Structure 1
Amino acid sequence: MKVLVVDVGGTSVKILASGQRTVRKFRSGPELTAAQMVAGVVKAAKDWRFDAVSIGYPGPVNGGTILEEPKNLGTGWVGFDFEKAFGRPVKVINDAAMQALGSYEGGRMLFLGLGTGLGSALIADWILMPMELAHLPYKKGRTFEDYAGLRGLERLGKKKWQRAVDDVVSRLKAALVADYVVLGGGNAKKLQPIPDGARLGDNAHAFTGGRRLWEERGI
């Protein structure tokens, strides 16, 4: 099966199909609707063959159903019929969960995406559990996202942000009894050194995760 993986972000939509090596992308932004995203993907992938589609969505997803409209994109995502629009089977998953799935190497893994916000997912024995840890209270009336996300980096500066991320990783790893933590997202590369018990992920793992959604092992 050839799978087209679509990674929907706040600034761009990235796509890659099975058998292809070069990621293609186009701009997204606060006005991008679900229908416009599909049209952009179809245009960008017009010379690629694919049998199914995986979509990484920047918001809560349950059982393949989008629960809320995105905070940094346009409207029309909740209830949108992606299978009809693409004319192929489609699986929708939270974007952090999709990257987590591509990063998984067995055991009990916690994934934290250090980007504009704080994405999170837990995988244990190939059972994927998307999580929404970002908005849990942390300290001083603020959330984990307020410290480990982009707002925290801008407010605290790099050194204090690094210490906050170290502490967040330590707390969440212990609370969820994770064997290891994978740190993804655009800001993870700014960490020097990497927190104990963690390793850097790679945005390319999102495409691996999208393909794994269709594997027979049963995610």
Structure 2
Amino acid sequence: MANTNVQTGCFIGIDIGGTGIKGGIVNPGKGILEGSCIRLATPQPATANLVNEVVSQIVNELAAGSNSLDHSSTVGVTFPGIVQHGISRSAANMDSSFINCDINTLFAGRLGRPTAVINDADAAGLAEARCGAGKHINGTVLVITLGTGIGSALIFDGQLVPNAELGHLSVDGFDAEIKASAVARERDGLTWKEYSARLQRYFSELEFIFSPELIIVGGGISQRTDEYLPHLNLRTPIVPARLKNEAGIVGAALQAASTRNGISAPA
């Protein structure tokens, strides 16, 4: 007899990063982890095959310790690069063997179950829009992460528009992330008020192009929003992200929950 807990609809989400790979079991209806997450170091070099082995190890460990999973259900996996139809088109901080690799097939083949791959910033944005600060907001929501670069996710009525690389938007002749990332603030020795002026230029440009209903700011720097958000003058509400380090795992699981056999279901 099938385990009745399967009907809880929990999914595994895996979040691949340049230094660590995290995974957890997520209740997508609540947008929360069921239990703790597992984190293992990203192998070096971070080749496609070695990363695949770590992903498999985490999934197997999570599945073995859970009674709330359908063990044939789709696994959601984030990847730090452009993902188009399951193929990685870039590989930031990962080995070049990932470029133009069919990572959906790669992961699914090793796991023996369907996978749904998604760009890491898209996953975090999807989680934040559906389960975090953007929950119940209709229209356009922009989720911007300020870190080494600028990650972004574009959400419309709760649906993701994938691979919106808004960190590369040109502002004053430069990629925005060159001047407005968290690393740029540290590199250039900016005070928070000086940094706020750069963010003002960037967010004003986003506001002009997209007319969003809400802008959500994530990344490590979201812990210090009281230092810069009060200096911004936008007509769009702008708020800190809520899900923090779990956003990628939750977003991966949401992607899995919205698919059938690793292929996105119609909206």
Whether the 8 Å contact between 2:14 and 2:24 is mirrored in structure 1 is yes
Letter of the 1:207 counterpart = I
Whether the 8 Å contact between 2:168 and 2:175 is mirrored in structure 1 is yes
CA distance 1:204–1:218, shift in 2 (3 Å): farther
Q: Deviations over 1:96-138 (max 9, x none)?
A: 1101111112322001111211111111113211301222221
Q: Deviations over 1:114-167 (max 9, x none)?
A: 12111111111132113012222212x421011222441223324222331233
Answer 1 or 2: higher relative contact order, Cα 8 Å, separation at least 6.
Answer: 2
CA distance 1:79–1:63, shift in 2 (3 Å): closer
Cα distance in 2 for residues equivalent to 1:42 and 1:186? 28
For structure 1, which runs of at least 5 residues remain unmatched after alignment? none
**Percentage identity across aligned positions?**
24
TM-score by length of 1: 0.87
CA distance 1:72–1:47, shift in 2 (3 Å): closer
TM-score by length of 2: 0.73
1:137 to 156, 170, 175: 170
Whether the 8 Å contact between 1:30 and 1:72 is mirrored in structure 2 is no
Letter of the 1:35 counterpart = N
1:209 to 234, 251, 261: 251
1:149 to 177, 181, 197: 181
How much does 1:29 deviate?
A: 6.4
Q: Which residue of 2 aligns with 1:171?
A: 205
1:71 to 81, 92, 104: 92
Cα distance in 1 for residues equivalent to 2:200 and 2:17? 25
For structure 2, which runs of at least 5 residues remain unmatched after alignment? 1-8, 28-33, 64-70, 130-134, 260-264
Q: Which has the higher helix share?
A: 2
CA distance 1:162–1:18, shift in 2 (3 Å): same
Deviates more, 1:168-177 or 1:52-61: 168-177
Cα distance in 2 for residues equivalent to 1:66 and 1:48? 25
Cα distance in 2 for residues equivalent to 1:23 and 1:93? 19
Aligned-CA RMSD value: 2.2
